[in-house]
Amino acid sequence: MSDASTKGDAMRAGRPRPATPGVHLWVVQRVTAMLLGIAVVVHLVTIVTAVRGGLTAREILDRTQGNEAWLLFYVVFALAAGLHGAIGLRNIAAETIGLRGRGADLAWLGIGLLMAAFGIRAAIGLYA
Amino acid sequence: MAEPASLKVSVWRGDAFQRYEVPAGTNQTVLDVVTHIQREIDPSLAYRFACRVGMCGSCAMTVNGRARWTCRTHVKRVVGEDGALELRPLANLPVIRDLAADLTPFFEKWQRARGTFQPKDAAEGAVPEDFAVVPPASKARREADAGIECIGCGVCYASCDVVAWNSDYLGPAAMNRAWTLVNDVRDGGRAERLDAVAGDAGCHSCHSTQSCTERCPKNLDPSSAIAGLKRTLFWDTLLGRR
């Protein structure tokens, strides 16, 4: 309890507020969820449209090669998916096995960015 | 529902259940059953109650797996034809003895969530110069009114999965209280309070499974209060207002 009241005094005195772990990650997760909502719809519509009349590698590359719009779309998609998934796993790990703390948070952020990097690498492969 | 002639009551005694046979009565509450056991069968049984009419909230226990006010729970509502009744202390709290839970962590979290009113226009504890005018129909006041009737019984806290998973989690009641104060236009502690309820120990861990809302004996909606805190903090964080 003394901890809480000291914090309060510190805040009233105008000192920097304490870091509240999770808030920014939560905001990132919500924003990426919104992006994924749009991206998944675009993705599914593209799949359904693309498979009409058969699907070939040539057809995919014709669509994506040299097309900045698709590159941007897949980069944003991969980034959102990587971060969103990692933050979700972070929360599951915290609640089920008690894996918490700054180190774990940074590790999850790293995992999320690594996953995104794999996706972005694939998107660049389709673009180049 | 057919009413059994006697109730087979299993009461948690700290390390095991003890079985008691209690005569069934009409309009019998679970608190009546506990009181019968203590007065007529086993005076060593510890439990807690005060008002017996749903005002104080101190008789809350886990009745057949659900946190309830025992004084407001009729036996016939929770007991089947077999007459089996299982009583445990409130979950997610330390146990003092038998059916009496220690609510200290629960109330400490109210303080951590800055559940005390901080007058905006007067130093802490001082009486303001004049009455504040708060239109009862304003949106903020209606939000505050929705949660103001909490009496701190701890039923929501005992029903919350997130409290079980994360012992630092503030819980529904503390955040419901914080939300009423965030919506109180006379209060000056908004920024500090929002900081106190943010993050993993606060509203952002809530999964919105709504056991708190489902089980609140006062029919309050802490789940919506927590959603309100999340919403406020989302925009404040995104727009750099904190």
pLDDT digits (tens, 9 = 90+) for B114-124: 999 988 877 66
- Alpha carbon distance B133, B159 (integer Å): 37
Answer for the pair A50, A60: CB distance below 8 angstroms, yes or no.
yes
Q: How far apart are the CA of A73 and the nearest CA of chain B, in angstroms?
A: 22
Rounded-to-integer distance, Cα A74 and Cα A43, Å: 9
Least confident of A113-127, B57-71, B117-131, B218-232: B117-131
Radius of gyration of chain B from its Cα atoms, rounded to whole angstroms? 20
Q: Which of A1, A11, A17 sits opposite B111 (nearest CB)?
A: A1
What is the per-residue pLDDT for B126?
73
Contact A27 B192 (CB under 8 A): no
Decide if A1 and B200 are in contact by the 8 Å CB cutoff: no
Cβ–Cβ below 8 Å for A11 and B191? yes
At residue B130, the pLDDT reads: 81
Picking from B165, B195, B234, the nearest residue to A30 by CB comes out as B234
Q: Would the pTM of this model clear 0.95, i.e. be above it?
A: no
The 3-state DSSP class for residue B193 equals helix
The answer for A53, left when phi > 0, alpha when psi is -120 to 50, beta otherwise, is: left
Query: Are B168 and B153 a contacting pair, CB within 8 Å?
Result: no
For residue A2, the model assigns a pLDDT of 41
Q: Measured between alpha carbons, how far is B63 from A47 in angstroms, rounded to an integer?
A: 52
In Å, how far are A32, B35, B175 from B41, measured between CA atoms? 60, 10, 41
* Dihedral sign from CA coordinates of A112, A113, A119, A123: positive
In a mutational test of the B interface, the residue from A26, A87, A108 whose CB has the highest number of chain B CBs within 10 Å is A26
Task: Provide DSSP, B3-61.
Answer: PPSEEEEEEE-SSSEEEEEEE--TT-BHHHHHHHIIIII-TT-----S-SSSSS-TTEE
Euclidean distance between CA atoms B102 and B82, whole angstroms: 32
Which of A4, A30, A94 lies at the smallest CB-CB distance from B111?
A: A4
- Distance from B91 to chain A by nearest Cα, in Å? 17
Cβ separation B108–A1 shorter than 8 A = yes
pLDDT confidence of residue B101: 97
Q: Which residues of B touch A27 (CB under 8 A)?
A: 234, 237-238
How close, in Å, is residue B192 to chain A by CA atoms? 7
B98 residue type, one letter? D
Average pLDDT over residues B168-189: 95
> What ipTM, to 2 d.p.?
0.74
| Distances, alpha carbon B233 to alpha carbons A63, B140, B169, B199, B228, in Å | 41, 16, 17, 10, 9
Three-state secondary-structure class, residue A31: helix
pLDDT classification of B156: cutoffs 50, 70, 90: very high
Residue in B with minimal Cα distance to A11: B192
Under an 8 A CB cutoff, do B202 and A11 touch? no
Q: What is the DSSP letter of B128?
A: P
Question: Left, alpha or beta for A85 (phi > 0: left; psi -120 to 50: alpha)?
Answer: alpha
Interior/surface letters A87-112, b for 16+ CB within 10 angstroms, e for the rest: beebbeebbeeebbeeeebeebbebb
Average pLDDT, chain B: 93
